[in-house]
Amino acid sequence: PADPVWTYFLAGAKQWASDTGNKVNTSFHNGDVASQQEAIRAAISAKADGIVTTSPDPGSLIELAKEARAANIPIINFNTPDPKANFNAYVGGDNVTFGKHWAQYLVDKGLVKKGDFVWMPVEIPGATYGVQEEEGIKSV
């Protein structure tokens, strides 16, 4: 994976496979939405027993979630929620709430005032989690 944070997810998937005797196939797409969509379609075509995925861009997996569910393949969304897609479940936090709390902390501590510039880096411009966190920040 290009981003070191994903090494933890990979280690967890490998450990789960070892603990349960199940097979896990992983792929990393570094923000390439089309590549991730293609990988999910391949998993559906291969009749995977389940699919676990992040949402690379809000709304980008709506049709794929429908396809997986139509094929009776559970599809779980993790790390970054996309409520527009009909996943079987979501595992993770609420990024809008995270952003709101970060911004409120900065305001409450007098670290920023209206009109200040706050830099919030993301690996890929437009990354879902960043968009959601920014939504929360703007609400403060």
Please say if the pLDDT value at position 23 is more than 70: yes
CB 33 within 8 A of CB 57: yes
Tens of pLDDT, residue by residue over 9-19, are: 899 999 999 99
| CA distances from residue 87 to 8, 75, 111 in whole angstroms, order as listed | 23, 6, 39
Segment 4-11 shows an average pLDDT of 86
Per-residue pLDDT at 1: 62
Tens of pLDDT, residue by residue over 30-66, are: 878 999 999 999 999 999 999 999 988 889 999 999 9
Q: Does CATH place domain 5-91 in 3.40.50.2300?
A: yes
Q: Where are the domains of the chain?
A: 5-91, 95-138
d(CA 18, CA 22): 7
User: Which phi and psi angles does 139 have, rounded to 5°?
Assistant: -75, -10
